[in-house]
Amino acid sequence: MFKWLKKLVQQQTCAFCHNKLERSQDYINDVEETISVCYKCVPYAERRAFRKK
């Protein structure tokens, strides 16, 4: 299977706990990358001062 196709097929996971995302919030991290965070890890992302997208 092609590498780029594997990335499309894979389900998204949380940037912190790596669980599957059912409900997610997008944040911008320190290096200006967009990350998806699950609802359980939102307080952690806000404590680290990530900006909401």
46: which 2 tokens? Answer: 């806000």
pLDDT reported for residue 5: 56
Q: What is the per-residue pLDDT for 38? A: 93
pLDDT digits (tens, 9 = 90+) for 1-53: 566 655 555 568 899 998 988 888 999 998 999 999 999 999 999 999 999 98
Alpha-carbon separation of residue 47 from 10, 25, 37 (angstroms): 28, 15, 13
**Residues 32/38/41/42 CA torsion (nearest 10 deg):** 60
Which residue ranges form the domains of the chain, and what is each CATH number? 11-52 (2.30.170)
CA distance 14 to 43: 13
